[in-house]
Structure 1
């Protein structure tokens, strides 16, 4: 019988291993196990390795409540639950990110606390309430924008946080204001535009969001730079192929109508979101190749090509920055040891539309 089996002897199925079991398997005291969990620097490397091997072998997980009492930490990350999108499409990427973040946090024995807020100022009030009550140890922010008051409040109040979205309008990479993770939307749109060009299209239109928009402008630049470099069209013609509208299916259909009314045929369309792409696709009855962004379930269900964000990797990177050497705050003296941001590449998912659609009235 192995040491592991002897330690668990007499336990019934469903009973979780305890710190006593870990100590018995590792051949150390319970205090040594506690030191490995809470103050590993106090334990000799060889002993620490034995204890960590026992923890892994037993599948032991420290009791969260007991740890919070010892460390005065909640082991909890706060994140705002965004309002439901009216079209049921636009918010799905953040829903998927939230799921990935929760699963990744659980693997680190961390919890995610959701809260709601009506706007940025209300979100700041929630920050204050949660931090004063010691309900959370750190925050994760989404949907960042230039001059974001939320990030400035957290910096001013010394709160650890990481954003999914870069600090638009600043020198993000060489002089970051805070820790961030983002997906390279410009590169994603470049992939989509190049794919259509390689397929023989030339008059490729772009439907995006009104400027200024950090994310929107970045994605539009990916289309514009690729078209300028490889389409053979004049700057004037390229400019005529760009339409800015608010996000949504109906807006995408209206934008497609405007594009079809301009001189010359449209060979393909690249959009800043799947909601816009769905509207454009429906308005054109599927006759024109359309590529969206976010690879939502709607895009997948109708066979719409789209740009996919690596949300599992984003969640992992966010937690690495929160729990790494910076501890959720930029530490100037540690910048050489670890990155202060991560910019991840997206992927183009190419599909052939599964259906030809007939546009409905009003779309």
Structure 2
């Protein structure tokens, strides 16, 4: 059996020291780009793989990242986060890291649970999901010194030009902008069905609709509904009873889109309804939807938290332009 390549083999192939190879694996930001690329090329050519158990003993780390398991909601909701948790677990495993999934019903419970895991050296970092404006979890983790990154912006706490935290998010405005541009091919009166104002994610998705409508020089109704099929159906039912009914409806979620479709069908109308999340429900019912690409989110999170090839938690420096990643979603037309 052929001998597995070692760090020394990689160093010899790349023409660098063993320490440089270690830096590329663990703290890539401190290595010159050209040198880093030579080392990465040598790693790929040799098929070098790191030994997770030896690394844990050497570094005295848990090699574990914590993430909350959201309560089961059933129905349309929750599919995107489920896909994300699966993707982050697979990609972390490829780096020799493990995911520790914990339960918490409230932000306060999550803060307590993360504090216990951090103080017990059970995790090296955490991933926050479901961020909201002025998120209490962000303040608490900052004070505790626990490295973390969020899937979703810490709305109201961060700025791209002056970053305070690491985050990866889906560019919701880009998604609804593409959806609206597609909807405008069916008529100029395109409605947006979204959540009440004040939700960072919801406001961002509404912005994309407004930008596309403004660029086309047209206007359409802004419909409001709480998340859920019955609320969405009631909102669209009301809109279809007025004289100037919409030519198409762009929705902030697939759950809202299902409600809109039920209202459209009950009224005996035929008009395009576009959702957001591209859940299996969208595919089954045959309506267009915006694909968030949670697998790409998972890859970007680990790169910011561990570096492109890192085997330990070594968070990216908080510098404008490099502390965040916005994933561009894709409109799936059906």
The answer as to whether partners of 1:23 and 1:51 remain within 8 angstroms in 2 is: no
Residue-by-residue CA offset, 1:123-150 (whole Å, 9 max, x unaligned): 1011101101111100111111110011
Distance 1:146 1:51, change over 3 A: closer
Cα distance in 1 for residues equivalent to 2:42 and 2:242:
67
- What's the secondary structure of 2:249's corresponding residue? strand
The alignment's C-alpha RMSD in Å is: 3.1
Out of 67, 72, 79, which is 1:84 matched to? 72
Are residue 213 (structure 1) and residue 199 (structure 2) matched? yes
The answer as to whether partners of 1:183 and 1:346 remain within 8 angstroms in 2 is: yes
| Matching residue of 1:152 | 139
Cα distance in 2 for residues equivalent to 1:51 and 1:195:
41
The answer as to whether partners of 1:193 and 1:204 remain within 8 angstroms in 2 is: yes
Where relative contact order (Cα < 8 A, 6+ residues apart) is larger, the structure is 2
Cα distance in 2 for residues equivalent to 1:191 and 1:57:
43
Distance 1:27 1:329, change over 3 A: closer
The answer as to whether partners of 1:131 and 1:137 remain within 8 angstroms in 2 is: yes
- What's the secondary structure of 2:325's corresponding residue? strand
Distance 1:264 1:90, change over 3 A: same
Cα distance in 1 for residues equivalent to 2:145 and 2:285:
46
The answer as to whether partners of 1:81 and 1:114 remain within 8 angstroms in 2 is: yes
Residue-by-residue CA offset, 1:205-253 (whole Å, 9 max, x unaligned): 11111121000011112112322332534xxxx3xx2222111122221
The answer as to whether partners of 1:22 and 1:54 remain within 8 angstroms in 2 is: no
- What's the secondary structure of 1:211's corresponding residue? coil
TM-score, normalised to structure 2's length? Answer: 0.84
Cα distance in 2 for residues equivalent to 1:213 and 1:51:
42
Distance 1:170 1:61, change over 3 A: closer
Distance 1:289 1:328, change over 3 A: farther
Cα distance in 2 for residues equivalent to 1:35 and 1:90:
47
Question: Within 5 Å, which residues of 2 pair with 1:163-242?
Answer: 163-197=150-184, 199-233=185-219, 238=220, 241-242=221-222
Q: How many residues are aligned here?
A: 314
Distance 1:37 1:266, change over 3 A: same
Give the CA deviation at 1:263. Answer: 2.6
Structure 2 residue runs without a partner (length 5+): 26-34
Cα distance in 2 for residues equivalent to 1:27 and 1:341:
31
| Matching residue of 2:283 | 300
- What's the secondary structure of 2:141's corresponding residue? helix
Distance 1:34 1:220, change over 3 A: same
Query: Structure 1: which 4+ aligned runs deviate by more than 4 Å?
Result: 21-28, 33-41, 49-61, 325-330
| Matching residue of 1:98 | 85
Q: Which has the larger radius of gyration?
A: 1
Give the CA deviation at 1:98. Answer: 1.0
Question: Within 5 Å, which residues of 2 pair with 1:15-94?
Answer: 22=6, 57=46, 60-62=49-51, 64-87=52-75, 89-94=76-81
| Matching residue of 1:283 | 263
- What's the secondary structure of 2:128's corresponding residue? strand
| Matching residue of 2:327 | 344
